[in-house]
Amino acid sequence: MSVLNITFCCTNTAPEPWLAGLHTTLPHAEVAVWQPGAAPADYAVVWQPPQQFFDEQPQLKGIFNIGAGVDALLKLRLPPQVVVVRLEDAGMAVQMAEYVCQAVIRHFRDLEAYAADIRAGHWTYHAPRQRSDFAVGVMGLGVLGARVAQALAHFEFPVNGWSRTPKALAGVRGFSGAAQLDDFLASSRVLVNLLPLTPDTTNILNRERLSRLQPGGYVINVARGAHLVDDDLLALLDNGHLAGATLDVFRTEPLPSGHPFWRHPKITLTPHTSARTLRETSIAQIVAKLMALQRGESVAGLVDVGRGY
Ligand code: NDP
Ligand code: OXD
C-alpha cells in the first residue's frame, strides 16, 4: 500500500506542533508543510490557504479546515472532486457557550457599571433587570449555536433560535427561514450571531434588521465581521435603540487602528478569541475522519460547497 501523503498549509499558524501531532497520530503517513512546487498529496490540512495551493494540488482527495467556518476557503477555486471537512465542535462549543453567556450576563447584571462604580470608590446598587424582559435570540442553531442556546436556557433567559431549517431544541423557541426572521428579531432583545458567512448571510445584521430588535437591544457577534454593517450598528448605538454590543469578529482583522469600534463606550471588543481551535482535539478529530474516509466510510462535518457551509 502506498504511503499516505498529507500537506499542511495554514496561515497564521505555527506548523511544528501540528506536524508533530499529526506524525504521532498517523506514524505511517508523510506529513509536510506545503511549499510551492511540493509533491502531490492525498489530503490537506488548511486554514486560509492561497489559491496557488489548490492550483498546484488538483489531485487532493480531502481538505480538512482547522476551523468551523469555511467562508475563506470557499472563496477559492477548489478541485471539483475534493471532499471538504470542517471542524465540528472540537472543544469550541463549550468555549462559545461560556463566552456568550458571560457577555449576556455581564450586560444583564450591569457588571460593567458595577466595576466602574467600584473603581471610583462608590458602593452603589443598580435596579435588578427582569429576566423575562431579556429574551436572547440566537441566529444559527448548528453545532455552536445550539450549544449556546441551551447554555442560555440553563440560566433561565427566554431563548429564541433562528435557523434555515426548523429545529426543535428543549427550552428554545424555534424560528426558521427568511419568512420568520422578522418575528424572531421582534421577539428578541439580545441578538447572538452564530451563522456561517454565506451569500445569504453577508450583511444580515444591517440597520433594518437590527432596528427590529426590542428597544434597548444588545448585539453579540461571534461569527464573522462581514455579517454586520459596522456603520448601521454605530448609528443604532448612537441613537439609543441599541444599548451595547460585544464583538469578537471584524470585517478586517486585526481591527484597523482608528476604527470607531476601538473606543466606542458601548462596545466591548475581543480579538477573535471566543472559541479557539484546540490543537490536540482538532488533530484527533481530523485523523479519525481521515481514516474513515480512507476506509470508504461517511463522515460528519462535510461542507456542502454549493450551500456555502
Ligand atoms: P453550523 O454549520 O453547524 O451551523 C450553522 C447554522 O446556521 C445552522 O443552524 C444553519 O441552519 C444556520 N444557517 C445557515 N444559513 C442560514 C440562513 N441563510 N438562514 C438561517 N439560518 C442559516 O456552524 P457552527 O455552529 O459550527 O459555526 C457557526 C459559525 O461560527 C462558523 O461558520 C464561524 O463563522 C463561526 N465561528 C466563530 C468562531 C470565533 O472564534 N469567533 C469560532 C468558530 C466558529 P440549518 O441548521 O438549517 O442548516
Ligand atoms: C472558526 C474560527 O471558524 O476560528 O473556527 O473563526
User: Which residue, among 108, 146, 145, has the nearest Cα to 126 in the 3D structure?
Assistant: 108
- Residue 216 three-state SS: coil
Please compute, for residue 276, the number of CA atoms within 13 A of its CA located in the half-sphere on the CB side. Answer: 7
Residue nearest to atom 17 of ligand 1 (CA): 164
Q: Is 142 in the pocket of ligand 1 (CB under 6 A)?
A: yes
Per annotation, catalytic residue among 106, 272, 276, 307? 272
User: Which residue, among 296, 288, 297, has the nearest Cα to 88 in the 3D structure?
Assistant: 288
CATH topology for the 5-90+277-294 domain? Rossmann fold (3.40.50)
Probe target for ligand 2 pocket from 92, 197, 198, 279, with the most ligand atoms within 8 Å of CB = 92
Residue nearest to atom 30 of ligand 1 (CA): 223
Q: 69 C-alpha to center of ligand 2: Å?
A: 5
pLDDT digits (tens, 9 = 90+) for 77-136: 999 999 999 999 999 999 999 999 999 999 999 999 999 999 999 999 999 999 999 999
- The three three-digit cell numbers of residue 253, written as one number: 482583522
The domain spans of the chain are 5-90+277-294, 93-269
Q: 174 near 161, Cβ under 8 Å? A: yes
Q: What ligand is nearest to the CA atom of residue 149?
A: 1
pLDDT digits (tens, 9 = 90+) for 258-282: 999 999 999 999 999 999 999 999 9
Probe target for ligand 1 pocket from 195, 247, 304, with the most ligand atoms within 8 Å of CB = 195
Q: Which atom of ligand 1 is nearest to the CA of 223?
A: 35
Asked whether residue 1 carries a pLDDT value surpassing 90, the answer given is: no
Active site residue 272: yes
Give the global pTM: 0.98
- Superfamily covering domain 93-269: NAD(P)-binding Rossmann-like Domain (3.40.50.720)
pLDDT at 26: 97
